[in-house]
Structure 1
Amino acid sequence: MVALCGGTLEGFSFFPCLSDPHGRSNFCLKLALVMLHLTYVALLFAFDKEFIQKTNQHAWYTAAYLLLLVATLAQYFITSGSSPGYVIDAMRAINETDASGNRATSTSTSVTCTYCNVMQPPRAKHCHDCDKCVLQFDHHCVWLGTCVGQGNHCRFWWYICSETALSLWTGTLYILYLKSHIPKPWWSYAVLILLLAGLSICLLFLLLLLLFHSYLILTNQTTYELVRRRRILYLRNIPERIFPFSKGACRNLYDFCCARSSMYRMEPLPTAQELEEKLRPYTCSDVLSCRCCC
């Protein structure tokens, strides 16, 4: 029960909906994901009689599980319909408010995108699937049908978190059913074991994805910056152990969760003095004063 994220699958012509950005149908992908969730839950109700009895005796337990299912699907559609924050919209918002200071900051280190001919500030990248420049581009998620960027990274993290909880709960219910003493035909064992194996793979992927994005949030990085760091011009001369946009774990977490006054923030590159400060080794007093968190 996972929304697989990533780029196109080149070389798999028999999966045109995934390998071709222009040929795949977002509606079909969303329908497939919803049907996958409903299939796992429907088979659980169809096979596990004890679960149905538990529903009659402890309705709150089943209600909580179904509520998590509905919340996960709702979070999926909310995230897929959200905007990652496009450069052209940010430029339009700056022009409308006549923020000359912000314009100077954002354009001083900007380059012109060769694909959409707009000024591309630091941390932005042109997404070929969306055909737009995305602020703080992280990656394009095929199953969401949209990019993950500055505007929806927080929603994406909560969606992955709810998917992980739902997959863990569903897997636990499947294991409890397989360990129960209810008489079961052999084919039901085969079906449930196959489903549980697929769910286990998805759960492992979700846990790794959740931990990975949690690390990115605490260090104020993006997937694109981490994977393509040597190819990004403004990060090429910065040591790899330095996170140039990090303001400390606590401040990064606060900005990610709470500072939502504007979805069109354009972060300037750190100055040479700020980079020297980040390069300064930690001392005992720095540890006691929580320098890494502030």
Structure 2
Amino acid sequence: MSSSNTDHHPEEIEIIQHHPIIPQQNQQPPYHHDPIHHHHHELSSEHEHSMNHEDEEDESHRYYGGGMMMGIRLNNRSSELEKKPFLMMNIESSMPSDQTIISPLATIAPKVTQLSADSQNFFDKLEDKRVSMSPLDSLYDSKFGFIILNGAKYCMRIFGLFMVMVAVVLLSLNFYFYFTVTLPMMNTKMWTYTFHLLLGLYFVLSISFNYIQCVRVSPGVTPKDWVDSLDNVEAFRNDTKSVPGKNWSKWCGRCQQPKPIRAHHCHICDVCVLRMDHHCPWLNNCVGLQNHKYFVGFIGFLAFAALYNFGMISLGVFGFYTPDPILYATWSGWLTFVMVLSGSLGLTMTTFTGWHVYLVLTNQTTIEFQFNKMKSVRSKVSGSENPYNIGIKNNIQQVYGLAAPEDSIFSWIKLLLLPNLQKSPVDGVNYPTNQPKGGENV
């Protein structure tokens, strides 16, 4: 080979050093082996020089004619490189340096890390907002949502007043029908008549007392003195742990104040209700800590009275006793209607009563039951399925009040079956739990 084959220009040497991906001298091109080229390689040196020159032109067209450089082959003859200065410019301008390759990675890496951290913070805040605010709370942020929700709130209050009047009318008609038709139609002995009369009066008084108390008595709202006694009110904004195994917030997004445990905001009453069970349109009031026992008493006595009325009418209609012929003939059409109505109401109220008796015995509310049901698997594993279940007797007394003297039969009869004005022994802020280290304020 001539000396021109080994002499390199400085520019060529620099390119080879800075770009290790460029094939070195005498290295075979990365494309397929050409048999014709191999044959020409065995010819004389002059003929070889001519053929190599043609091959170089063809290769430069293959590597650089398409616009995307898939490989670079440098001619080991400086004379050939001098004939193609555009090739050297193309190589220098297109091949990135080590710093050019590493610099974007060094810039992107911290940005990716920061983006990951920002994403985690976003989802954490979204979860905090989800557990601290209900979907209705977020609607208050817009003017349209504020108008709609406030309009719905006042409509529900007016509807609640209407439902209370309907309930009073229906109860009054049932009481009237029992004392003027069902009871006289029995045509029985005096002592039997007296028994049914007194039993009917007991049902009427019990139903009326409990219903009036349900409507009149406040279920209990967040105590103002409790809020004022807190040292750091703002700390409650970020406190989402209220009950072990649950994510209830201690901050009310609607009232913008701390919320006691087991309390929930009612969007119709527009207050945080202590130990809230549900809002009842038939009462136009919420069922909570201080009136839950009246609600259970109302539906319980109503269920017994409806089934009792259904039984008395059914016995006369199906001939188990001889009804008064005049009353029976006068009210025969209504008797069937009242019998069906009483039976349906009795079955419905019995089911509803059984449900709330279960809640009282296990010291749960309807809202808490739903949370416990959704998280039952995780709660059972962690042992915190219902931290407020402290035994049947204690659970009953937490709703109905203390039985005094303790454990006497008469005290329990008076507590459960007679009008009871006792308040719950808990203050609605602190609750005893079954947790070994739970204390009273979980």
Q: Report the TM-score, using the length of structure 1 for normalisation.
A: 0.69
Give CA deviations for 1:250-273 in whole Å, capped at 9, x if unaligned. Answer: 332232333533443333887696
Q: Which position in structure 2 is the counterpart of 1:148? A: 287
Match 1:78 to one of 213, 220, 244: 213
Q: Which position in structure 2 is the counterpart of 1:291? A: none
Match 1:243 to one of 374, 383, 386: 386
**2:226 aligned partner, one-letter code:** I
Q: Which position in structure 1 is the counterpart of 2:250? A: 111
Tell me if the contact between 1:84 and 1:134 (Cα under 8 Å) persists in the aligned partners: yes
Q: Which position in structure 2 is the counterpart of 1:210? A: 353
1:52 and 1:80 map into 2 onto residues whose CA distance is: 37
Tell me if the contact between 1:122 and 1:269 (Cα under 8 Å) persists in the aligned partners: no
Higher relative contact order (CA 8 A, sep 6+): 1
Tell me if the contact between 1:82 and 1:152 (Cα under 8 Å) persists in the aligned partners: yes
| CA spacing shift, 1:250–1:99, aligned 2, 3 Å | farther
1:115 is displaced (CA, Å) by 1.3
Query: Structure 2 matches for 1:123-162, cutoff 5 A?
Result: 123-162=262-301
Count of aligned pairs: 246
Give CA deviations for 1:126-152 in whole Å, capped at 9, x if unaligned. Answer: 111111111111111111111111121
**2:197 aligned partner, one-letter code:** T
Give CA deviations for 1:166-193 in whole Å, capped at 9, x if unaligned. Answer: 22222222223323444444x8444222
**1:219 aligned partner, one-letter code:** T
Match 1:261 to one of 410, 419, 425: 425
| CA spacing shift, 1:205–1:146, aligned 2, 3 Å | same
Tell me if the contact between 2:372 and 2:386 (Cα under 8 Å) persists in the aligned partners: no
Quick check: 1:62 aligned with 2:197? Answer: yes
1:82 is displaced (CA, Å) by 0.8
**2:425 aligned partner, one-letter code:** S
Tell me if the contact between 1:154 and 1:257 (Cα under 8 Å) persists in the aligned partners: yes
**2:258 aligned partner, one-letter code:** M
Q: Which position in structure 2 is the counterpart of 1:21? A: 156
| CA spacing shift, 1:272–1:166, aligned 2, 3 Å | same
Question: Which residues of structure 2 form unaligned runs of 5+?
Answer: 1-151, 243-248, 403-423
Tell me if the contact between 1:135 and 1:149 (Cα under 8 Å) persists in the aligned partners: yes
- Percent identity, aligned pairs only? 23
- Which region of structure 1 is more displaced relative to structure 2, 107-116 or 52-61? 52-61
Tell me if the contact between 1:124 and 1:133 (Cα under 8 Å) persists in the aligned partners: yes
1:178 and 1:80 map into 2 onto residues whose CA distance is: 36
SS at match of 2:290: coil
Tell me if the contact between 1:45 and 1:51 (Cα under 8 Å) persists in the aligned partners: no
| CA spacing shift, 1:146–1:25, aligned 2, 3 Å | closer
Question: Which residues of structure 1 form unaligned runs of 5+?
Answer: 1-16, 275-294
User: For the pair shown, which has the larger CA radius of gyration, 1 or 2?
Assistant: 2
Task: Give the aligned CA root-mean-square deviation in angstroms.
Answer: 3.7
| CA spacing shift, 1:139–1:65, aligned 2, 3 Å | same
1:60 and 1:46 map into 2 onto residues whose CA distance is: 16
Q: Which position in structure 1 is the counterpart of 2:342? A: 199
1:188 and 1:19 map into 2 onto residues whose CA distance is: 42
Q: Which position in structure 2 is the counterpart of 1:34? A: 168
Tell me if the contact between 1:160 and 1:210 (Cα under 8 Å) persists in the aligned partners: yes
1:22 is displaced (CA, Å) by 3.7
Q: Which position in structure 1 is the counterpart of 2:226? A: 94
1:203 is displaced (CA, Å) by 0.9
1:73 is displaced (CA, Å) by 1.0
SS at match of 1:238: helix
Give CA deviations for 1:22-52 in whole Å, capped at 9, x if unaligned. Answer: 43152x3333222212222333444454347
- Which region of structure 1 is more displaced relative to structure 2, 109-118 or 209-218? 109-118
2:260 and 2:272 map into 1 onto residues whose CA distance is: 10
Tell me if the contact between 1:34 and 1:73 (Cα under 8 Å) persists in the aligned partners: no
| CA spacing shift, 1:239–1:164, aligned 2, 3 Å | same
2:377 and 2:431 map into 1 onto residues whose CA distance is: 17
1:219 is displaced (CA, Å) by 1.3
| CA spacing shift, 1:63–1:111, aligned 2, 3 Å | closer
